[in-house]
Chains A and B, each alone.
Chain A
Amino acid sequence: MKRVQFEHSPIPYLFVAPQLLIIAIFFLWPAGQAVYQSFMLEDAFGLSSQFVWFRNYSDTIFNSSWLHAAWFTAIFSTLVTLLSLGFALLLAVKANEVIRGASTYKTLLMWAYAIAPPVAGLMGNLMFNPLIGDLYHFMNSFGYDFDHKLHEVDAGFVVILISVWKQVSVNFIFFLSGLQGIPKSVTEAATMDCKSPTRRFWTITFPLLAPTTFFLMVTNITYAFFETFGIIDTTTQGAPGGATTTLVYKVFQDGFRGADIGGSSAQSVVLMLVVLVLTVIQFRFIERKVHY
């Protein structure tokens, strides 16, 4: 990233002031509150509180359910990100090659973009309902005893499937516009030099899509970490046995459902640190390989 040095004049600060104010009010202040609360044991109604050092952290982080949630979050985010990027890229490349009825394909593939995660979750929940769900019966029709109400892997499959389905169309739009931004002259020159379309894709197209892919990777990880909350809440609610509980969902369960403010604050501080480290890694190590 290039750094621009301003002269020492107050005007630039004035220009960024509104943005800084928004950050301060909507990010720094609540984050500060979370850090403060994470060191306090306070009753839900705020009538008594005491400073307890790291008690909230040791109570809530070092127990099996949090560690399991961390583990699930890692697997879940990786799979959701890779699968939704992979499918979207495949669909975008194929849709880009279609000549007849192209806009119909594209519109249909973008269809799901406007669906909010909780709505996607509700629809998925209906499709996987053990009594009336078509997908549930379809999964069971192969002789495999599919039961996402009791089997961890099946429950994971359900939330990942819905999360990926919801995200593919967003990624598709970006990949498609990325593909259309590649100059014709480059692809034509490549066609003359190389016969294999697969090789052309990996040596020319994919590197040129790298900025789009990097951007989507960052947003998809954020999506998998935070926005899938709505999907989990409307489908498995973290069940069975906490198997599909992500870190964000656990913060919600303990803080909003269970009125444990200190414990959920400690968890959100840790979550904040995890995301911070992830972001640094992404920009430090992966972005270096991206050519704009």
Chain B
Amino acid sequence: MKLLKKLAVGAVTSMSLMASAAYAQVEIQWWHAMGGHLGEVVEEIAAKYNASQSEYVLVPTYKGGYEDTMTAGIAAFRAKQQPNIIQIFDAGAATIINAKGAIVPVADLLEKYAGGFDSTDYIEGVRYFYADSDGKMIGMPFNSSTPLLYYNKDIFAKVGLDGPPATWEEMEAMAPKLKDAGYQALAQSHSPWIFAENFMSRHNLQLATANNGYDSTDVKILYNNPELRMHWTKVKEWLDKGWYGYYGRGWGDNQDAFVQQKVAMWLGSSGSFGGLTKSAEFKFGAAYLPYWKSIVDEPTSTFIGGAALFAMAGKSEEENKGVADFLKFLTKPEIQYLWHRETGYVPITNAAYEMAKADGYYDSTPDAEIGILQLTQKSGEWTKGYRLGFYVQIREVMYKNFEDILSGKASVDDAFAAIEKDGNALLARFHDTYK
């Protein structure tokens, strides 16, 4: 024990010595969930920021997946050891935004310390997702993606198909040809995200009461609707006909089926583009997320997925100033363009998008623009996003019931009744916890 204590004392002293030796710069802790190549780009951005000024030192720390990062942030906050900036994913947004006093809105920070904030600088598709019901930005969208359709151009050419389907009706017409040639037509990763949340936004359908959950935590979920039930009835039909491949819940397992050319089309994220470029040994293209012509004539834009950066509360003014300074740096066009180019996530500001266009990036890589074009498609009343509590558990409920539909254990009607019942029970519980 004594030895341990000595070691601990030694470690603390040497660390504080190191800190004081760092020219009294203010340290800004940034916990993120970006592994692999994405993590490297985060490190690169941090290095660029640190080189750009001498007042603050930004220290990015990888904390695991989205849920791990959120859990780490929660535990740290309870122990009063929270980082300055934390990356929280879409499904966790309600948890951190509704906990009164856990965070400081980024719009306020930028307003106060970084010379103002104008939400119209941000592209329309990302502006509201992490905002409050008045449109004030609470979290800064960071890695923003949206679901897209990827298709194997080689297979399409071989089978004699011209281009990707714009609607699900067109997909259904293509599927038999692909099946005859020995391919499954479609697979997708993350069914709650693509085949529920974005289904609602694509067809401009209301997802939850209380303005999709932005106005109050007292909400009811609206997934149990005829359009979505029709869609899932179709998905089950596709599965039974051998048009649709289900490779489990794992994101990568379904993407692998596309990479290994088992399936001709795969629904993934606009952020998957970079990874596919490296792994696919065939020509592929990206296209808009299909919609049902039978529901809408013209589709509306999709939601952004991914995560946002939140400034945690309980920090000194000096550190908050640093956070604002960094966020301002992060939204600079050249940094956003770098992030966009390296990762495939969309640039979040209009200026960055213009810069990428002017640079000719989309002339050489037209597929990289599809995500941002889809996000800037016609918006509707229900396309700005949703804010629902315990949404991680609600997604789990959806996964469960979607799997029950696919395995034939439950009928579509029963599955959606269960989603409604269990979803609303979770929302009521969240409302009582966070009221």
**A residues apposed to B, CB below 8 Å:** 41-48, 52, 59, 63, 65, 129-131, 149-152, 237, 239-242, 253-254, 256-260, 262-263
B407 touches A45 (CB 8 A): no
Query: Can you report 13 residue pairs joining A to B where beta carbons are below 8 Å apart?
Result: A45-B74, A45-B101, A46-B78, A131-B260, A149-B246, A149-B247, A149-B249, A241-B401, A241-B404, A241-B407, A259-B74, A259-B95, A260-B429
A131 touches B256 (CB 8 A): yes
Q: Is the interface of A mostly helix, strand, loop or mixed?
A: loop
B433 touches A262 (CB 8 A): yes
B422 touches A63 (CB 8 A): yes
Q: Is the interface of B mostly helix, strand, loop or mixed?
A: helix
A150 touches B406 (CB 8 A): yes
A260 touches B400 (CB 8 A): no
B400 touches A241 (CB 8 A): yes
Nearest-CB residue, chain B, relative to A130: B247
A258 touches B392 (CB 8 A): yes
* B:372-414 near A, CB below 8 Å: 390, 392-393, 396, 399-401, 403-404, 406-407, 409
A65 touches B400 (CB 8 A): yes
Q: Which of B95, B256, B400, B429 contacts A242 (CB 8 A)?
A: B400
Encoded as 1 (CB less than 8 Å from any A CB) or 0, chain B from 267 to 296 comes to: 000000000000000000000000000000
B262 touches A131 (CB 8 A): yes
A43 touches B407 (CB 8 A): no
Nearest-CB residue, chain A, relative to B397: A65
Task: Tell me, in angstroms, the Cα distance from A240 to B396 when the chains sit together.
Answer: 11
Residue B264 is within 8 A (CB to CB) of chain A in the complex: no
Residue B357 is within 8 A (CB to CB) of chain A in the complex: no
Nearest-CB residue, chain A, relative to B257: A131
Residue B27 is within 8 A (CB to CB) of chain A in the complex: no
A47 touches B400 (CB 8 A): no
A150 touches B100 (CB 8 A): no
Give every chain B residue within 8 A of A41 (Cβ-Cβ).
429, 432-433
Q: Do A150 and B403 contact each other (CB < 8 Å), given the known contacts A47-B101, A131-B260, A259-B74?
A: yes
Give every chain A residue within 8 A of B257 (Cβ-Cβ).
130-131
A71 to chain B, nearest CB (A): 15
B232 to chain A, nearest CB (A): 14
Give every chain A residue within 8 A of B390 (Cβ-Cβ).
258-260
B161 to chain A, nearest CB (A): 24
Residue B148 is within 8 A (CB to CB) of chain A in the complex: no
Nearest-CB residue, chain A, relative to B428: A59
Nearest-CB residue, chain A, relative to B429: A59
A276 to chain B, nearest CB (A): 27
Give every chain A residue within 8 A of B78 (Cβ-Cβ).
45-46
Residue B117 is within 8 A (CB to CB) of chain A in the complex: no
* B:53-93 near A, CB below 8 Å: 67, 70-71, 74, 77-78, 92
Give every chain A residue within 8 A of B432 (Cβ-Cβ).
41, 52
Q: Which of A44, A152, A237 contacts B74 (CB 8 A)?
A: A44
